[in-house]
Amino acid sequence: MTTSALPRMSTEQARLLALTEYARFTDLLRALDPQDWTRPTDCDRWDVRAVADHVAGAAKMYASVTRTLAAQLNGWLVARRLGLGEPLDGVNELQIRETADLPVPQLISFIEEWAPRVVEARFSVPRPMRRIPAKGMGMTMPLVDLYAYVLTRDVWMHRVDISRATGRDLVLTSDHDGALVADVVAEWAGRHGRPFELELTGPAGGAFGVGPAFGERIELDAVEFCRTISGRSVGSGLLAEPAMF
């Protein structure tokens, strides 16, 4: 079974979701109080400020193929030097360092400056590069899918992380968050390839199913579903099957 069992969003929809997600992320950052920035998050070793720096640094990095390729090599070196788990951890460290010294207002402006540039770059990948394998979380996917879908999920999930860490309301709508979650479900279904019935609750939820009857039935809040298959919470059965975030 492949992801074609459930529909994926169109490229244009993915582009619009990416721009909207960056805007929602910066709106959340503006709502934070000074003490919020040092609160721990669900991301190991990262407080709220580190999460925001990661999103900012990633926006600048992925806006340039040259910077992206250089970061892969340098990230591997940083990961080895710091004893981090995998090269991606080193890349993340480099992203955090990019804006770690900026005052908060400048950090927010930095993300706003780079957001449209990285979205443009992500949806203009040269054809010869689109099938290059991209690896993360023990999974592999074509570079074009990483850029179109996963990088937006990364920002979205970090908005969830910050909302949880600070107690701020998480803005969720069916047209934006619901579409993003539905695409996550499609990828997840294609990865595990087994029948299921999935009822996701909340504003970002929906009903999904693949395969014959008697597949595993799951009912869960949509955000918690994504937290679980991203590895932030422990899941069993099909919920132990990951998707890339």
Share of the chain above pLDDT 70, in %: 98
Task: Give pLDDT, residue 3.
Answer: 39
Tokens found for residue 116:
């449209």
pLDDT in tens, 4-29: 468 889 999 999 999 999 999 999 99
pLDDT in tens, 28-38: 999 999 999 99
Q: Which CATH superfamily is domain 3-240 in?
A: dinb family like domain (1.20.120.450)
Instruction: Please report, in tens digits, the pLDDT of each residue of the chain (245 residues total).
Output: 333 468 889 999 999 999 999 999 999 999 999 999 999 999 988 999 999 999 999 999 999 888 888 887 788 888 888 888 778 888 888 999 999 999 999 999 999 999 999 999 999 988 888 888 887 777 888 889 999 999 999 999 999 999 999 999 999 999 999 999 999 999 999 999 999 999 999 999 999 998 877 789 999 999 999 999 999 999 999 999 999 99
Q: pTM higher than 0.85 for the full model?
A: yes
Cα separations in angstroms, 154 against 51, 144, 207, 234: 10, 15, 23, 19
If one counts every other C-beta atom within 10 angstroms of the C-beta of residue 106, the result is 12
- Residues 111, 61: Cα–Cα separation, whole Å: 12
- Residues 146, 108: Cα–Cα separation, whole Å: 24
For 233, which DSSP code? S
Domains of the chain, by residue range, sit at 3-240
Residues contacting 111, CB < 8 A, separation 6+ = 22, 25, 26, 29, 52, 55, 56, 59
Task: Give pLDDT, residue 5.
Answer: 67
Cα separations in angstroms, 200 against 15, 104, 228, 244: 24, 35, 13, 19
